[in-house]
A and B are shown apart, each in its own frame.
Chain A
Amino acid sequence: MLQLIPLFVLIPLGAAFACLLVKRRVPAMAPMLSLVGVLALLALAVTGSVQGAAGASIAGGWSLESQGTTSFLPGIALVFDGLSAVFLLLVAVVSTAVLVFGFRYMETYEGRPLYYALLNLLIAGMNGAVLAGDLFNLYVFVEIASIASYALVAFGTGGREVEAAFKYLILGAVASASILLGIGLIYAATGLLNMADVGTAVAAGGIPETTLLAATALFLAGLGLKAAMMPFHAWLPDAHPSAPAPISAMLSGLLIKTLGIYALVRILYLVIGMDGALGGSLQTLLLVLGCLSMVGGVLLALGQTDLKRLLAYSSISQMGFVLVALGTNTWLGVAAAIFHAMNHALFKGALFLSAGSLERIAGTRDISKMGGIARIAPATTIGAVGASLSIAGVPPFNGFWSKLLILIALFTAGMHVVGAIAAATAVLTLVTFVKVQQRVLFGALPERLKGAHDVPASMSLPVIALAVLCLIGGLLWPLGLDDWVGGAASAVRTDGPTNEAPAEYRRMVHSEGRQP
């Protein structure tokens, strides 16, 4: 299994270029190639998660001497551990649903092989970012995913799309530059790039405090922009709704988590260290930014009439939940954050896909012009209602468990004010989605929509599948899923039930990553 880790990046990358190769002659092969690719990824991710294997794979590692063994160059370390496994599985599941949904949805667009190529590139970038064992490769894979996402936002090539993509690109480029500058500062101070080594060096006080502070600020600004934290959120409500529906689902469901949340967890907890000198102020910062995102996002969402824009603002709000959970700096908080990020990928993916279906059915994204769609489109309605119940935090669904966990984590950590804000936001989220469902799915059917009919099964089934996963996630949570997510949290926090994991990460990178 460990030898196969590079395949997580290789398969989508190969599929992307194969799509480009066939685009002129046999464009119909591009969707098939992509499907084979994501199904292989799904199989790999499931195998990896079930086996619970953890380890590093080293790409390259070429020795300087032609036959000698004395000196060697370290190669690119790809590290697979509990935290990576969660995100890899998530990427594979949501990508599969998005891809199947896109088969029919994308039929109205020009240049479809390019869409499949860019989608695969996006998947390759996200998988790579989740596996990268050193800071620079994290940056490279983040950039691959980002560049693919800029192009995908502009895929419709209308004025609105291109404008949103340009805005997104400018802010994304600033974010990337600050991340790279932060990496440069760390390298200048330590001469190391490997996350485990840098973490050890920082913990041992090997970096001057001002350098560490500057690097942390740069990482926070860069990754905060990628994760669309509240003061850095301006691009998201334009970029996510402008993309075609499957891409909106990828961006809101996966991209802000793999590039934003995952990278934040790895860098803040493993590299900079939340227990270290900067820990206290980082915690405060995460809590403040998280509260701002939670409340601001949900209030702005309440006022929207454009369905996809509403969902985009709600994504900002849900990311706020994840941030405050990370701000607790406890094992429970991190586990809750990972679980909520995971759930958000499932239900927000389903919601954006169903928004695409609704747009096709009603011919508009304006909530006030829709209504009674449940009567003409039962399959789409089932998926949309399931996902809405989940994001609203209704009990058997997974959204309930992760919000409950976040509240428990906040209150046990003694953060009562933040906990109260989070609870109020959860109620507001419920209100938002009840309002949306009532307006859009139930109520009177406008005269205009009498002749409309449901979308084909290949578009409604992926949404239903994601909604069912939300339900299964909720039902399985008390029955073993908690161990799996808890294992992921143990990869960065030592105060949980198992506490060797961060040390284990270091050992893996050293013993398996450093030997030729």
Chain B
Amino acid sequence: MTMYVLAAVLFGVGLYGLLVKRHLLKKVLGLLILEHAVNLFLVEVGYVDGGSPPIRLAGETAAAFAGGAVDPLPQALVLTSIVIGLGLAMLMVALSLRIYERYGSLDADRMSELKG
């Protein structure tokens, strides 16, 4: 249960950083924290108390493996989600660089060309 609380707290921290902070790189960090909060939650969903890693060893029967291992599916999901997060973060950093090039600043308040 405490682990779920940790994921929720991280989610809040990430959301705060992403939406409230004015510095663009702090927004990038907020996004990363937000994503890893969700990833942490997904891994926790598949956790089995005292379970073994979901890698089958030679000589282990399928039944024994399925009984003892943690759920591998969320781990596969998290791997995919990490890749997506990586792409997002890279794009965000590239956009920040462009913005710095145009405005000479990474302060979101200085970006004023767009209204509402």
Contact = CB atoms under 8 A, between A and B. Distances in A.
Interface stretch (A2-10, A157-165, A268-276, A282-290): A157-165
A159 B112 CA distance: 10
Nearest to A143: B84
A247 to B, nearest CB: 15
A163 B113 contact: yes
B34 A157 contact: no
Interface in B44-78: 45, 56, 62, 71, 73-74, 77
A174 B34 contact: yes
- The size bracket of the interface on A is 35 or more
A147 interface: yes
- The size bracket of the interface on B is 35 or more
B92 A169 contact: yes
Interface in A308-329: none
A173 interface: yes
Contacts of A237: 116
Contacts of A238: 114
B98 interface: yes
B88 to A, nearest CB: 6
B116 A71 contact: no
Given A147-B84, A169-B92, A174 B62 contact: no
A429 B18 CA distance: 36
A189 to B, nearest CB: 9
A166 interface: yes
B99 interface: yes
A41 interface: no
Contact of A64 (B45, B56, B73, B84): B56
Given A162-B102, A177-B38, A184-B38, A169 B113 contact: no
Nearest to B96: A166
A170 B99 contact: no
A157 B102 CA distance: 9
A174 B15 contact: yes
Interface string B93-109: 00110110011000000
A232 B62 CA distance: 48
A444 B92 CA distance: 45
A112 B103 CA distance: 25
Nearest to A158: B102
A147 B113 contact: no
Interface in A461-482: none
B27 A170 contact: yes
B108 to A, nearest CB: 8
A6 B24 CA distance: 39
A484 interface: no
A184 B45 contact: yes
Contact of A160 (B18, B87, B114): B114
A101 B87 CA distance: 29
Contact of A187 (B62, B74, B81): B74
Interface in B10-30: 11, 14-15, 18-19, 24, 27
B113 A64 contact: no
Contacts of A177: 11, 14, 34-35, 37-38
Helix, strand, loop or mixed for chain A's interface? helix
A188 interface: yes
B83 to A, nearest CB: 9
Contacts of A163: 99, 111, 113-114
A473 B14 CA distance: 47
Contacts of A65: 62
Contacts of A180: 38, 42, 81
Contacts of A69: none
A151 interface: yes
B18 to A, nearest CB: 6
A94 interface: no
Contact of B45 (A151, A154, A166, A187): A187
A237 B13 CA distance: 28
A181 B41 contact: yes
Interface string A171-214: 00110110011001001100101000000000000000000000
A65 B62 CA distance: 9
A133 to B, nearest CB: 15
Nearest to B24: A166
A184 B41 contact: yes
Nearest to B8: A181
B15 A173 contact: no
A423 interface: no
Given A64-B62, A140-B80, A173-B18, A167 B88 contact: no
Contact of A154 (B88, B95, B114): B95
Contacts of A147: 84, 87-88, 91
Interface in A54-103: 64-65, 70-71
Given A147-B88, A188-B45, A165 B95 contact: yes
Contacts of B74: 184, 187
A375 B35 CA distance: 54
A188 B14 CA distance: 22
A17 interface: no
A65 B56 CA distance: 11
Given A71-B62, A136-B80, A159-B111, 11 more contacts: A64-B56, A147-B87, A158-B102, A162-B95, A162-B98, A170-B19, A173-B31, A177-B11, A180-B42, A180-B81, A181-B11
19 contacts: A65-B62, A140-B80, A147-B91, A157-B98, A160-B114, A162-B99, A163-B114, A165-B95, A166-B96, A166-B99, A167-B114, A169-B91, A170-B18, A170-B31, A173-B34, A177-B38, A181-B38, A184-B41, A184-B42
**Which 7 pairs show the lowest CB-CB distances between chains A and B?**
A159-B102, A188-B45, A162-B98, A143-B84, A238-B114, A160-B113, A163-B111
